[in-house]
Structure 1
Amino acid sequence: MNLASTPPATSAGPVLHRKIARGSELLRKGQIAEAVELAQSIAAAYPDQPQALAFAAEACRLKGDLPAALAWIDKAIAAGGDPQHKIKRAWLLSRMYRRDEIPAFAAQIEKDAGNDALVLWQLGKLHYHHNRLRDAIGLYERALAIRGDHPGWRYDLAIARFYSGDFDGAGRELDKVLSATPESGAVLYLRSTLRKQRADNNNVADLEARLEAGFRNPDDKAAALYALAKELEDLGEYGKAFSTLEAGARTKRGTLRYDADQFFETLREIRSMQDADALAAPAGGHEEEGAIFIVGMPRTGTTLTQRLLLQSGKVKDAGELTDFGYLLTLAVREQQEADPSLSPVAATLRLDFAGLGRQYMRAARQMADGSPMFIDKMPVNYMYCGVIHKALPNARIIHLVRDPLDSCYAIFKTLFFNAYDFSYDLDELGEYYIAYHRTMQHWREVMPGAILDVRYEDLVTDTEAQARRIYDWCGLEWTPRALEVPDSRMAFATASAVQVREPVHARSVNSSRRHADALAPLAEKLAAAGVLES
């Protein structure tokens, strides 16, 4: 919810309405300091008006002053603000890593919400983003029962069912959404991923007819093409599947503004400055144990590794957290404010590593209900392995390694929507993979023994041996339960939500070789970089 949007006129009169509208315009233009100054003057002039206080909260939030934002929103609530202010407060608690306060506060909002469908749906979103899928599903269902059909809300319910393992339920919700929004590419793609398609039960004809009719939005068209490619591959029509996939990727790439030059330069600087001497220097990191980082490229077995660990009953899932990267960015910014001559990477060498580690552990544990051991499965944390090791010397880092061409193909054929912009062009995908590969090789060289490499091919062909390695690395007592298919109640918020609930299989090993000709330029690029054997 954006409290900066222009509110309706209130009993305080049109003057207040105009002032808030002027402040909202400043926020839209990015003139944050001016907006904050105006907001504070408005709040001082109207100290009993909830909308004035809430606007001050929003201005402070956009400035990055979260404590001030929380103080203002608390005043808005005390002044008799509407339930939206309480929702805003809950999200501020999350941003401030006070997530452990959210369940009790959300319960109070729910109790007061009565039959307010919007508030119930917003509470569902709050629970969804904090790994409480069962709570989210219940709230979404209540909101829809009160409000009546709402395609956007129903899609949220379908996603929550999908991640919780209720694929049939997700399918029923998607059918209802499609009847109301037939051009929704996201719905079409999710429908195709719910199960492996069969010759006697698939959506190929339906997808082809929709594509023939055309889509007004290129993102919807791209998603429909990805859905069709997935179904064609399921049916063994590999050539047609790949050409359809290429069309989808071209369409999706056309919607993006992607330039990785700065990212690649940052990785080069990381490899240059975070060398063996820098990483060996005493850091006085935070010694707390329990964090398990699973890193690597997506679609390389990270979710299967997560599943094996969760089956121990001793480990909980914290999700794919952005926490470490976000807290690192804040710490780097603080160093740069003290010394503007520092580059971001140079600033990492001056961090309070213990403070960074302590902040991260507090935040991440809250996402895992305080579990002594938890998993952070954010793949791009591979970039931060050096800083993770210094800030959290007792953390366990597990890196999933997969055949480079299989890895790239698995990524290329997956629609990630708002993530991994590099994945929609094979040349750009190759460049990214090479940069990632060099970065992981660097970590192996400068901090040997700090990362456990697990090969995807070994994981799916000799699962017990690899699972035992992983358990030993994490200090877990071995249990045969690790090899069982997970309980249906276990949630996996990942594109692999379907596959991870199947018995382990090796069907995807060497799957890229079906498209050897089409992938030949990518293979040559990887081989020239020394990443793939020619």
Structure 2
Amino acid sequence: MTASGGAPAGVMQGYALLREGRVEEAVRHAADLLREQSDHVDALVLAGEAAVAEGAPDEALGYMQRAIDADPGNEALRLKQAGLLLHLRRRREALDLALSVAAKARGRGGGQALWQAASIAANCNRPLDAVPLYQQALGSMGPQPGLLYDLAVAQFFTGDFEAAEANLDRMLAIAPQAGHALYLRSTLRRQSPGRNHVDELKQRIAAGLGRPDQDAAAWYALAKELEDLGEHASAFDALDTGARLRRQTLDHDIAGECEAQARIRAAYGREVMAAPARGHAGAAPIFIVGMPRTGTTLVERMLVHGGSVRSAGEPLDLGNLIGAHAREALQARPQLTPAEASLHIDFEALGRDYARGVSEAAGAERFIDKMPANYMYCGLIRRALPEARIIHLQRDPLDSCHAVYKTLFFSAYHFSYDLDELARYYIAYRQTMAHWHEVMPGTILDVRYEDLVADPDGQARRILEWCGLPWDPETRYGQAPARAAFTTASAAQVRAPVHARSVGGAQRHRKRLEPLVRRLAEAGIAVD
């Protein structure tokens, strides 16, 4: 065995190749190194990194196991292995391994290992497990901006908003230009005249945060707080500025995104959906789909409150798996579009692989997948998971679009920062949902946000019965269940009592939203 301390000079050369994007050369280079010294830890880790870059995570896992066998006391390697397991959607194994490493690191003051283990737990949809690990890492390492932010996010998801705000304040004292922390802090609670950050935010914005994305986040934070204080015109001014800055940082093709949906609709017509398909019959997940900010988390909360099902959060699994299977099909049929190629995938294998990975995220066989954008794949869900239930959230078009526009999504929904692009996406969404209702009638339950907030208990009964779950007339579905984690941007709002404050709220900005209204009207979508 050769320990990692004496890395061959060629290892660094291999990493240089990876940094330059020369992946195939890096793979060959790592193989050459291992032919010279088959049990060298650094060479094995390089081979694993190269395999990941090449899109072969299973092969990378093999290299990592060989590295661990060569250096069994190296906990950093075990955390790398946990990360690979997570990449492979083997979440239960990843979590168990991370918690095992954390247990050993706890007694040694291993703050970095605890931080990494906490991050793996968080990415396994286990923020309740992640919080104490982040706290232990903080006790070992002291206040690190990134660590304080990660802890605050986990506390946000678990409902400990006061602690999250305190940690964000600590972070901002160290890293005053962290716009993302300013925005998260603003969303933790409804700001009041006696307790808000408006003056502080204005000062930070005037001084500049150094990067357009951070400046944008500060403007979004200011917009949120001004809206809470009832200063709606000023809030929209701040929002417009933040959206403009954020859009400048993004490379986004709205036409391509809408065209991709059109191709899915064209591929999955009535005849295709009427044809028999052998999907995976061993799972009955509940999909909650629609536009973001339409009440999807409130429906999730109602289902969890019933006690018979658990949430997997908003996993990316379905879209990623469909893409991977479609790419395999394209290799044999390169003349097809990805949507057409997806017709040739093994739907039973897709459903089985999806259900295994996401059930581990939920920690239950019957689970909720609350990724709103899965609305694009309703037809594929039907073919891959015939026992699945699909719940579609609807909301007044203007309220829906305004709610999206005023939300800062750090790594998703890039269409949301320009009113014209937002309108075009909303039109595509409406066309896609109308298509699924036409080609697979009776298989999707539509739920209106306005009905949810007007009659939460009645709508909960309707939703639970649709899902084949028991309804308890003694349960108050309008209240959040205790000790439940909600891994969503709506984690703060969903814990508050159900209210109708936002119904019709976009009307006060009707003139400012006119470009969007006009685009929707051209597509035949009425806005009252």
Pairwise same-fold verdict (TM > 0.5): yes
Q: Deviations over 1:461-518 (max 9, x none)?
A: 1222211110111001111325152234111111111111111111110110011111
Q: How does 1:7-86 map to 2 (within 5 A)?
A: 11-12=5-6, 16-17=8-9, 19-80=10-71, 82-86=74-78
Q: Which residue of 1 aligns with 2:185?
A: 191
| Secondary structure, counterpart of 1:453 in structure 2 | strand
Distance in 2, matches of 1:204 and 1:97, equals 42
Q: Percent identity among equivalent residues?
A: 49
TM-superposed deviation, 1:456: 0.6
| Secondary structure, counterpart of 1:454 in structure 2 | strand
The worse-fitting range, judged by mean Cα deviation, of 432-441 and 207-216 is 207-216
Matching residue's letter, 1:73: M
Matching residue's letter, 2:431: R
Pairing 1:478–2:471 present: yes
Q: How does 1:403-442 map to 2 (within 5 A)?
A: 403-442=396-435
TM-superposed deviation, 1:533: 4.1
Q: Deviations over 1:353-374 (max 9, x none)?
A: 11111111111111111x2320
TM-superposed deviation, 1:11: 4.9
Distance in 1, matches of 2:5 and 2:308, equals 55
Q: Deviations over 1:162-188 (max 9, x none)?
A: 111001001110111111111111111
Residues 72, 482 of structure 1: alpha-carbon distance in 2 compared, 3 angstrom cutoff: farther
Distance in 2, matches of 1:120 and 1:22, equals 30
Distance in 1, matches of 2:89 and 2:209, equals 41
Candidates 504, 507, 510, aligned match of 1:510: 504
Pairing 1:374–2:367 present: yes
Candidates 444, 447, 461, aligned match of 1:451: 444
TM-superposed deviation, 1:10: 6.2
Matching residue's letter, 2:382: H
Q: Which residue of 2 aligns with 1:311?
A: 305
Q: Which residue of 1 aligns with 2:237?
A: 243
Q: Which residue of 1 aligns with 2:220?
A: 226
TM-superposed deviation, 1:314: 0.4
The answer to whether the 8 Å contact 1:356/1:391 transfers is yes
Candidates 89, 92, 96, aligned match of 1:104: 96
TM-superposed deviation, 1:21: 2.0
The worse-fitting range, judged by mean Cα deviation, of 435-444 and 340-349 is 340-349
Structure 2, gaps ≥5 residues long: none
RMSD of aligned residue pairs (Cα, Å): 1.5
Candidates 284, 288, 291, aligned match of 1:294: 288
Distance in 2, matches of 1:440 and 1:464, equals 26
| Secondary structure, counterpart of 2:344 in structure 1 | coil
Matching residue's letter, 2:138: L
Distance in 2, matches of 1:135 and 1:106, equals 11
The worse-fitting range, judged by mean Cα deviation, of 489-498 and 309-318 is 489-498
Q: Which residue of 1 aligns with 2:382?
A: 389
Matching residue's letter, 2:319: G
Q: How does 1:128-207 map to 2 (within 5 A)?
A: 128-207=122-201
Matching residue's letter, 1:200: G
Distance in 1, matches of 2:527 and 2:181, equals 39
Distance in 2, matches of 1:532 and 1:517, equals 16
Q: Which residue of 2 aligns with 1:5?
A: none
The answer to whether the 8 Å contact 2:102/2:133 transfers is no
Distance in 1, matches of 2:175 and 2:5, equals 39
| Secondary structure, counterpart of 2:311 in structure 1 | strand
| Secondary structure, counterpart of 2:315 in structure 1 | coil
Candidates 345, 350, 353, aligned match of 1:351: 345
Candidates 498, 516, 521, aligned match of 1:522: 516
TM-superposed deviation, 1:431: 0.6
Matching residue's letter, 1:387: L
Q: Which residue of 2 aligns with 1:495?
A: 489
TM-superposed deviation, 1:100: 2.1
| Secondary structure, counterpart of 1:434 in structure 2 | helix
The answer to whether the 8 Å contact 1:312/1:482 transfers is no
Distance in 2, matches of 1:482 and 1:346, equals 46
Q: Deviations over 1:58-85 (max 9, x none)?
A: 1111111122111100111111163221
| Secondary structure, counterpart of 1:319 in structure 2 | coil
Matching residue's letter, 2:512: A
- Report the TM-score when normalising by structure 2: 0.96
